[in-house]
Chain A
Amino acid sequence: MKRSSGVGIWVGFVAILVWCLLPVVWILSLSLKPVSETAAGSPQFLPKTWTMQNYKDILADGDFTRALINSFGISLIATLLSVIFATLAAYAIARLDFKGKRLVLSIALAIAMFPVVALVGPLFDLWRTVHLFNTWPGLIIPYMSFTLPLAIWTLSAFFREIPWELEQAAQVDGASPWQAFRKVIVPLAAPGVFTAAILTFFFAWNEFVLAISLTSTTASRTVPAQLSFFVGPDPFNPPFSQLATASVVVTIPVIIIVLLFQRKIVAGLTSGAVKG
């Protein structure tokens, strides 16, 4: 009985793995093929000749590396700001009793429900007027606003789970409210902060609509937007291997970040605080 269910689990595991990873492997394999192979009518799954030429080309491409820098800068700054604001807001929402608390939460949710596309036009006009068009802040601000609601909701849920007594104990022990927040609450909310940070980073890293509409040059264009300019000389023959290579390159940071933060996102960090 136990054995057969073990086999079942492994079969399911492999099936899901193949389902999820096949496209990734396909992209990886494309990126390792020479252009001649991808242009052929029906390419085989694995490359006939393995080559790193695509990677060399793409990293030598000044526009692409520039976009990569933009992506990193914009995503990291947006994430940082969003997490800082969300932490403070969520703490206030979870701990303080003030009028309009529900309103703040509902408005935050409403922002998250707003379709991004509907804002592109107005933002485009506004940004041109205030000279934010085609700048880093021009993307950082909308990214921050769109990720704040989710971050606030995630974090306030985390804050609510931290026992009140811990903060009160800290205050009795001689901490100012700010010290209690910094030395007790924030370390305990770390899993929540990291979760919010990852979600925000992914959003900013993958965002396309705003990135393509609010930029005009590589001064601020991010990778997803830059990829759409990979057309190659022949409009009927897109440079598949180049696109695949670029995709692999932009995926790597995401994987690294997830692996790094995965350890931080451990549930049950608060266990032991109170009787359990």
Chain B
Amino acid sequence: MSAIEMKNIVKQYGDGFAAVNNVSIDVADGEFIILVGPSGCGKSTMLRMIVGLEDITSGDMMIGGERVNDKAPRDRDLAMVFQNYALYPHLTVYENIAFPLRLSKEFNDTEIDQKVRNASSTLELDEHLERKPANLSGGQRQRVAMGRAIVRDAKAFLFDEPLSNLDAKLRGQMRTEISRLQKKLGITTVYVTHDQTEAMTLGDRVAVLRRGIMEQLATPRELYENPANLFVAGFIGSPPMNFLPATVEGDMVELPFGKVKIPADKAERARGKGLLIAGVRPEHFEDASVMDPDKVAEGSTFRATVDVSEWLGDQQYAYIPFEAPPEVQAQLSQLERDLDGESLRTQLVVSLDSASFIKDGEELELYVNAKKMHLFDPSTGENLTTSNKGDSSGSSRSSTTVRANGDGAAFAGAPTTRSAGVHREPGGSSPAT
């Protein structure tokens, strides 16, 4: 077990394309770190640089306090689970798991046998030991790949989208299994995924990447409640955060549907910046008719016509289209492209109590919890309303994330030095392990 320190890591390809651009992450000993982002954001490249399958253009990769930039993968003593498992098809499950031990030449046959059986019983593979990978199901192959990783005492585990080839149910089970295993073994883990459920549930901290740049490194809760910028806000959460054109006047924010009052400190920071983008999560809306009238009175309400509604049993979603001014529209469709999506129209997604009897085409009174509203600068994408940055625990380590000029960032014309997390946290952020 070891800590992994990545210092200003850059990966540039021969054609000058920077897949990873100046990313620094400290992974504490025993910590579970997630690298997440849309496809092409450099998360897998980052992982492959840690393990040594990809050269590092510049920066320092430290594992256990030792610089490993020039070390071959086999000398780094890391265990990796590949996206497609990469099992050796000509070997039995037993030999697959024993493979790293046999290569190390440190163990005799009895020791190897004991270690393999230990790993296989942890992963419930005992009855499959003599089978070949071709005869196993997807979940079993996945477990064999994990077995091969846990059988030796590696310094850290690296996972490259290990669950993306499993079906939804199995994925849920394996996710819990990985979490349990990591807690039990207490081993430093770096986990790459594009699935935000995995990112939110597994990680002690999550690094959100976009186009090779780290946008935010924070605990899952912090990412959800205090996204550093438009990208993180749009990436984390499902259905995603709603983005609406907004202007601040006094304590009031003018939205396409009407004016709502926001807390004074938030308004203070966003005042006088012209047209902004307001971000409100779907669950911060509610059908006012099913709510406690006292509570409704505390927030703001507005009337809107529901285009389509989806009833899911435990909740329901309603879609409300709106018109956005061109500059916001352009920004939002760019964001959508960054998120691998395709926006067809600007619409508001609201999550309503399932008790609400709303029908398509009906008008309803919607409550919005304006306290939870975020305001973003449309040109830089920066979150203007993040509560005092000092209390955003866990994200201090992203302090070196500096965005280079002219890197084709979505938020055009922004000569920005990203301020995401230029702050010290009050110690104690080292994750519980």
Pairing of A with B: yes
Q: Point out residues on A near B: beta carbons under 8 Å.
A: 163, 165-166, 168-176, 179, 183-184, 187-188, 269-276
For this complex, 21 residue pairs linking A to B, each with C-beta atoms less than 8 Å apart, are A163-B86, A165-B83, A168-B73, A170-B88, A172-B51, A172-B53, A172-B73, A172-B78, A173-B74, A173-B79, A173-B148, A175-B103, A269-B90, A271-B134, A272-B89, A272-B132, A272-B134, A273-B84, A273-B86, A275-B141, A275-B165
Q: Are A175 and B74 in contact (CB under 8 A)?
A: yes
- Closest chain B residue to A169, Cβ basis: B86
Q: Which residues of A contact B165 (CB under 8 A)?
A: 275
A271 to B53, CA, bound (A): 24
Q: Are A272 and B135 in contact (CB under 8 A)?
A: yes
Number of A-B contacts (CB under 8 A): 83
A270 to B135, CA, bound (A): 12
B136: CB under 8 A from chain A?
A: yes
Q: Smallest Cβ distance from A144 to chain B, in angstroms?
A: 28
Q: Are A163 and B84 in contact (CB under 8 A)?
A: yes
For the complex with contacts A168-B53, A173-B79, A275-B141, 17 further pairs of A-B residues with Cβ separation under 8 Å are A165-B86, A166-B88, A168-B86, A169-B148, A171-B72, A172-B53, A172-B74, A172-B79, A173-B99, A174-B74, A188-B89, A272-B133, A273-B84, A273-B133, A274-B85, A274-B86, A275-B84
A179 to B165, CA, bound (A): 29
Q: Are B103 and A174 in contact (CB under 8 A)?
A: yes
Q: Which residues of B contact A271 (CB under 8 A)?
A: 89, 134
From 125 to 153 in chain B, residues with beta carbon under 8 angstroms from any chain A beta carbon are 132-136, 138, 141, 148
Q: Which residues of B contact A171 (CB under 8 A)?
A: 52-53, 72-74
A276 to B79, CA, bound (A): 23
Q: Which residues of A contact B88 (CB under 8 A)?
A: 166, 169-170, 184, 273
- Closest chain A residue to B48, Cβ basis: A168
Q: Which residues of A contact B73 (CB under 8 A)?
A: 168, 171-172
Q: Are B103 and A168 in contact (CB under 8 A)?
A: no
Chain B residues touching A, range: 20 to 34
Q: Smallest Cβ distance from A264 to chain B, in angstroms?
A: 12
A174 to B155, CA, bound (A): 13
Q: Which residues of A contact B89 (CB under 8 A)?
A: 188, 269-273
Q: Which residues of A contact B87 (CB under 8 A)?
A: 272-274
Closest 8 CB pairs of A and B: A272-B134, A274-B84, A165-B86, A272-B133, A169-B86, A173-B100, A273-B89, A174-B103
B306: CB under 8 A from chain A?
A: no
Contact with A along B78-118 (1 / 0, CB 8 A): 11101111111110000000011001100000000000000
Q: Which residues of A contact B104 (CB under 8 A)?
A: 174
A187 to B104, CA, bound (A): 20
A97 to B367, CA, bound (A): 61
A173 to B78, CA, bound (A): 8
Contact with A along B55-87 (1 / 0, CB 8 A): 000000000000000001110011110111111
Q: Which residues of A contact B135 (CB under 8 A)?
A: 272
From B77, B88, B134, B138, name the one whose CB has the most chain A CB atoms within 10 angstroms: B88
- Closest chain A residue to B75, Cβ basis: A174
Q: Are B90 and A187 in contact (CB under 8 A)?
A: yes
- Closest chain B residue to A165, Cβ basis: B86
Q: Smallest Cβ distance from A167 to chain B, in angstroms?
A: 9
- Closest chain A residue to B166, Cβ basis: A275
A179 to B73, CA, bound (A): 13
Q: Which residues of A contact B80 (CB under 8 A)?
A: 169, 172
Q: Which residues of A contact B77 (CB under 8 A)?
A: 174
Q: Which residues of B contact A166 (CB under 8 A)?
A: 86, 88
Q: Which residues of A contact B132 (CB under 8 A)?
A: 272
Q: Are B85 and A168 in contact (CB under 8 A)?
A: no
Q: Smallest Cβ distance from B154 to chain A, in angstroms?
A: 9
Q: Smallest Cβ distance from A171 to chain B, in angstroms?
A: 4
- Pick from A168, A179, A183, A272: contact of B82, CB below 8 A: A168
- Closest chain A residue to B76, Cβ basis: A172
- Closest chain A residue to B73, Cβ basis: A171
Q: Which residues of A contact B83 (CB under 8 A)?
A: 165
A273 to B82, CA, bound (A): 11
Q: Which residues of A contact B53 (CB under 8 A)?
A: 168, 171-172
A275 to B144, CA, bound (A): 12
